[in-house]
A and B are shown apart, each in its own frame.
Chain A
Amino acid sequence: MQTYYSDLLVIGAGLAGERVAVEAAQEGFDVTCLSIVPARRSHSSAAQGGMQAALGNCAKGEGDNVDVHFGDTVRGSDWGCDQEVARLFADAAPIEMRRLAHWGVPWNRVVPGKSFYFKGGEKFEKEEKEEKRGLITARSFGGTAKWRTCYTSDGTGHAVMCTMDNRCAELGIDVFDRKEAISLIHDGDKCTGAVVRCLRTGELEVFLSKATAICTGGFGRIYKATTNAVICDGGGHIIAHDTGVVPIGNPEAIQFHPTGIVPTDILVTEGCRGDGGTLLDVNEERFMNIYEPEKAELASRDVVSRWMTHHMREGKGVKSAYGEHLWLDIRHLGDKHISTKLREVDEICHHFLNVDPRKQLIPVRPTQHYTMAGVRTNKDGAVYGLKGLFSAGEAACWDMHGFNRLGGNSLAETVVAGGIIGVKIVEFLKGYETDFKTALVADAVKKQQDRIENLRSGANGKENVYKVREEMQDALMEGCFVFRNDAGLKKCIDTLQGTLEKARNVGLVSDGLGANHELAAALKIEGQVKLGLCIAKAALERTESRGSHNREDYTARDDQNWLNRTLAYWREGADMPELQYEEATPHYEIPPGDRGYGGGTIIEADKAEIEAKTIKK
């Protein structure tokens, strides 16, 4: 058995993982990163739009500061976030963007002089100041008061990922690709590494570490229609949740993006709407300006997704072989803008739709996009339940996003949280000694060997993993999508309980040898169905509408009863998750109020209680 040792084991080498790794390596610790794909293929690299940070350099960002960014983030979260964490994030973001510039990110810069921009299909003029020449510029994104989203053309994620991976190479960090962690090594109290399947040879390996960080991104792939890469399948969540002592925070908080293209669900960036693109219905008429006169297409994602679904339900959708959709119109932005600032969009339209966005409309519909849900951590990124286990990025519920995440805040979170949590891991490592129990390691390996053997031999049954997966995906699309209600959620739970049984009876059709994909899918199917059940159960219990969690039968935001965070545990041998709740935030800088968009009523929390928890300035 090949065994590796390091001070810090980072599972997942996207932006959050590598940023954590860099922080620890800079302090002289021995760091190993694992990734199922070469690091630069991580889903971080697919983010086109940008990273929010209140630099306030560009004309439309004037007057921006960390307080405004903090406020937008809290309002965006529909007061579901941890305000302490949102504060840490907003304060650190500008420094982190500058640090990235120092490491080599080619941020777009301020160009002095007059230029045009579009908003809601109309053309406006702005003038950039000479004194700001060459500083990092920003673009407009939904849900933000100022232009705050730092970017490199439309390849921000890609450019930052290259720079971060370069930094890892410079520091000599071992980044092992094609390695998948399939279980954590722990004694119910502390985590000491992971059992890993090599995706080149199929061999099992052991990675021991003093500290372990889960940075494996989201788990959108449990939905059928998702913008996520095929690797975003919940692997990291599953191994943490499987321990029985680690909760998933806010599983019901799943974000849907308004503009996934039909039929492949590939995302076209929010930048399309930020730069002035409009949404049209079957009559090629705008409709967002009717529902949201102020923000229109630039309202926050959950709001736009809902109005789109609503509008299609009103019979205004475009019928197609793949179901109904709406149109995204960027024709008026012109050739130059589309070929430079929205080049990826242009390429996606060309390669996957045979559409020229200069002349034709783009078919879009809401699609699963982001999991605010995740491995629950405290503000230091330390995972609840296991000492030595940390998590950062989309995989984590660090909880600066609450129930809705603002565009440009996720990519920013990867590096900002990675930096903050990296520092905390360094503090942890400095004063920490552990011991590795050989029996514990042998047990953990044996358990995985047995699982694999049972799957290969068909000892559990003959269920086909791909069919089981499809059943789970369909159930979630039906019951846990943009709109939710009591009957739909109950039906979803019913179905998923049957699916769970099937997932436990999967047997391989192929031999499972080497880099076998069927085995990889089979090893995580039970965990995926459990995640699905956590979403459905938590969504059923939460009898209110908050951010992206929208109940048709409980349309108000109920601060009296639900100003809290769900914690979903899965105890060993259980068939359903156990739900607990904790306060959303230890204190308020901004007491709960109206978001300013999205309509809906609010059942207010007890005033005295909120007052007592509000920080006096």
Chain B
Amino acid sequence: MSRQLEFDIFRYNPQDKGSVPHMQTFVLDETENMTLFIALNRLREEQDPGLIFDFCCRAGICGACAMVVNGKPRLACQTKTVDLPSQITLLPLPVYQLIGDLSVDTGSWFREMYQTTESWIHTNKTFDPTALEERMENEVAEQIYELERCIECGCCVAACGTARLRDDFLGAAALNRVARFVVDPRDQRTDRDYFEVIGNDEGIFGCMGLLGCEDVCPKGLPLQNQLGFLRRKMGITAIKEIFRK
């Protein structure tokens, strides 16, 4: 016998003047290997075509479908209903602006973050198409990739105590991004340059160390290690700054 699943889903469409935020209940029969991707699409196609939510790769690679599932931010596509009780509550991620129902605007948030952290290689070298590539140890390449695995789903920020308290907190995804460039030998920025960006309460010193970010990261990124690494680096830089003055 398959279970009957009860979905309590947050509903609000800001573009509809008559819309009021509320919870709506849907019922669906569970099928084998059902994921929230399968369930939500069935609800939209069979019960309410007005339901708003995001999916893209539906394979846990792109990060589009993060939402709060029974209290915890996670990717809907790789959440199997068999791992959940028959009562499932779905809410949009907090912190980000709501687009409608379960869909939030992570795009604008991350774009702003790229600009703040200047998320690109800073170098004065120019590319020479006739030359061999600059050599790099494979270990270093793998270390960089390890930090670049972030899919910008937004779960870490949604689960962050500081981000919930203050709008201007950069969050683990941004600090992880900075760490990615710190370990990259191609980037010529110094610790002082990074200090300008993250050496404050909006950045590395705002973190309360609650570990929520790492707990919910669907890619299992070592976010707290990176925070610790940056905090030590920035702490030392701060002390040096004091002596410079």
Chain A contact residues, CB within 8 Å of chain B:
37-38, 40-43, 45-46, 95, 97-99, 101-104, 106-111, 133-137, 152-153, 155, 158-159, 162, 165-167, 169-170, 175, 177-178, 200-202, 229-231, 263-264, 266-267, 321, 344, 347-348, 351-354, 466, 508-511, 513-518
Contacts and interface: CB of A to CB of B under 8 A. Distances in A.
A109 B135 contact: yes
Interface of B: 13-16, 32-33, 35, 44-45, 48-52, 54-64, 78, 80, 99-100, 103, 105-108, 110-111, 114-115, 118-121, 125, 127, 129, 131-138, 140-142, 144-145, 148-149, 151-152, 184, 186-187
Given A169-B114, A352-B33, A98 B132 contact: yes
B132 A518 contact: no
B50 A518 contact: yes
Contacts of A159: 145, 148
Most-contacted residue by chain A among B48, B61, B111, B125 (CB, 10 A): B61
Given A41-B57, A153-B145, A158-B61, A98 B15 contact: no
Contacts, number: 196
Nearest to A104: B121
B52 A95 contact: no
A348 B59 contact: yes
A514 B13 contact: yes
Contacts of A37: 54, 56, 62, 64, 107
Most-contacted residue by chain B among A38, A99, A110, A229 (CB, 10 A): A38
Contacts of A200: 99, 105
B149 A158 contact: yes
Given A514-B52, A518-B49, A134 B138 contact: yes
A513 to B, nearest CB: 5
A513 B15 contact: yes
B184 to A, nearest CB: 7
A228 to B, nearest CB: 9
Contacts of A344: 61
A231 to B, nearest CB: 6
Contact of A99 (B32, B121, B127): B127
Given A106-B141, A348-B60, A95 B135 contact: no
A513 B151 CA distance: 29
Given A104-B120, A169-B119, A348-B59, A515 B136 contact: no
Contacts of A264: 33, 35, 58-59
A40 B56 CA distance: 11
A134 B107 contact: no
A517 B49 CA distance: 7
B168 to A, nearest CB: 20
A508 B44 CA distance: 12
A264 B137 CA distance: 38
Contacts of A353: 33
Contacts of B63: 40-41
15 contacts: A40-B152, A98-B127, A101-B136, A102-B133, A104-B187, A106-B141, A134-B135, A321-B32, A348-B59, A351-B80, A352-B59, A510-B49, A514-B13, A516-B52, A517-B51
